[in-house]
Amino acid sequence: MDDLTILPGRNLTRPAKETNSVALLAEIMGRYIAPLQASRDFRAQWQASGLSIGSMVFGEGAIETSPLRYLAEAKRIHAGWLRHYSEIEAAHSALTEILMGFERVDPLTATRMVAVLLAALGKKKSDEETGLLLAATTDMLSPLDAAVAITTKLWEPVNAHPFVLAVAIKALIAKAVFTSASELREEMGRVSRNIALAASAMSYLAETIGRADEIVFVGDRATWSTNYADVDSGVAAAMRDSLIREAPDIDDDGSEIPPSDRWRALDEKAGGTTS
């Protein structure tokens, strides 16, 4: 992180090794792109199977009312998609972590990344103007900016996750447009919305596969067991861990609450990794 230098006789700070800063963008995007790629691929597979993201496959209260009514469709989904469940859950978790905003790009890294944007677009501004644009852009990514935005509600805080910033910078470079901090803010908002859509799709798929798992467990236990015999034990562990309300617990009186039959069966398939 020591590749920033002050130009002699000027106030502008810029990367001494520009290629290192360009590589930083690629490294950050490479670190986080996998869950987005997984979401894209799984959505395409889901639609290719004749289903659409967001459509209700099973009716409300399907288990309580008539599980057998949806059994045929549940078995089809269970047979084809159970093996992907842990991957889908992992993608959803990773995308959600980006959206939560717990990880923020640090000021030095932000400066290096935005400097790449300015250099790539060959801004014909004075050093003072360029320095002000760089300062305004990186300040927009600070925790103080977010705190003031949330408190005053005068503007929307940006998601300052390194991946969001890196993708927004690449998008602006591709469009060859960048004259103000507001343009980067708008692009980062667009990136965040796309990530939110990808996360929502993974949440929908995980929930639908989970519902299919429940219906097949109730309606055809033999098929349910056969399907789990064909997948990694991590799938059963991921499905079990999603059943938070069905896990063993202790009530307010200190008495043990036993797990549901499905939780117990999944725990067995997972190798009993949770007591």
47-99 pLDDT, tens digit per residue, is 999 889 988 888 776 666 566 788 999 999 999 999 999 999 999 999 999 99
Task: For residues 72 and 126, state if they share a domain.
Answer: yes
Strand partners, 6: 13
* pLDDT computed for residue 63 by the predictor: 61
Could you give the 3-state DSSP secondary structure of residue 257?
strand
Task: For residues 28 and 127, state if they share a domain.
Answer: yes
Task: For residues 30 and 125, state if they share a domain.
Answer: yes
Tens digits of per-residue pLDDT, 135-160? Answer: 888 888 888 888 898 888 888 888 99
Task: For residues 221 and 273, state if they share a domain.
Answer: no
Rounded Cα gap, residues 42 and 73, in angstroms: 18
Task: For residues 268 and 168, state if they share a domain.
Answer: no
Phi, psi of 6 (to 5 degrees): -95, 125
Burial class (CB in 10 A: 0-12, 13-18, 19+), 253: exposed
**Range with the poorest average pLDDT among 22-26, 185-189, 233-237:** 22-26
| Long-range own/partner contacts, residues 184-193 (CB < 8 A, 24 or more apart) | 184/114, 184/117, 184/137, 184/140, 185/140, 185/156, 185/158, 188/158, 188/159, 188/164, 189/156, 189/158, 189/159, 191/159, 191/164, 191/167, 192/99, 192/158, 192/159, 192/164
* pLDDT computed for residue 66 by the predictor: 63
pTM above threshold 0.75? yes
Which amino acid, one-letter code, is at 186? Answer: E
Tens digits of per-residue pLDDT, 107-141? Answer: 888 888 888 888 877 655 556 666 777 888 888 88
Rounded Cα gap, residues 163 and 151, in angstroms: 25
* pLDDT computed for residue 68 by the predictor: 77
Domain with 238 in it: 232-275
> What's the total number of domains in the chain?
2
> In this structure, how many other beta carbons lie within 10 angstroms of the beta carbon of residue 95?
25
* pLDDT computed for residue 6 by the predictor: 29
Burial class (CB in 10 A: 0-12, 13-18, 19+), 114: buried
* pLDDT computed for residue 127 by the predictor: 62
Return the structure tokens found at 125: 């501004």
* pLDDT computed for residue 8 by the predictor: 33
Rounded Cα gap, residues 249 and 91, in angstroms: 28
Tens digits of per-residue pLDDT, 185-218? Answer: 999 999 999 999 999 999 999 999 999 999 999 9
* pLDDT computed for residue 192 by the predictor: 96
Task: For residues 201 and 262, state if they share a domain.
Answer: no
Task: For residues 213 and 248, state if they share a domain.
Answer: no
Task: For residues 38 and 92, state if they share a domain.
Answer: yes
Burial class (CB in 10 A: 0-12, 13-18, 19+), 167: buried
* pLDDT computed for residue 273 by the predictor: 52
Task: For residues 13 and 128, state if they share a domain.
Answer: yes
Task: For residues 257 and 160, state if they share a domain.
Answer: no
Task: For residues 273 and 191, state if they share a domain.
Answer: no
Task: For residues 157 and 260, state if they share a domain.
Answer: no
Residue 271 scores a pLDDT above 60: yes
Residue 264 scores a pLDDT above 80: yes
* pLDDT computed for residue 48 by the predictor: 94
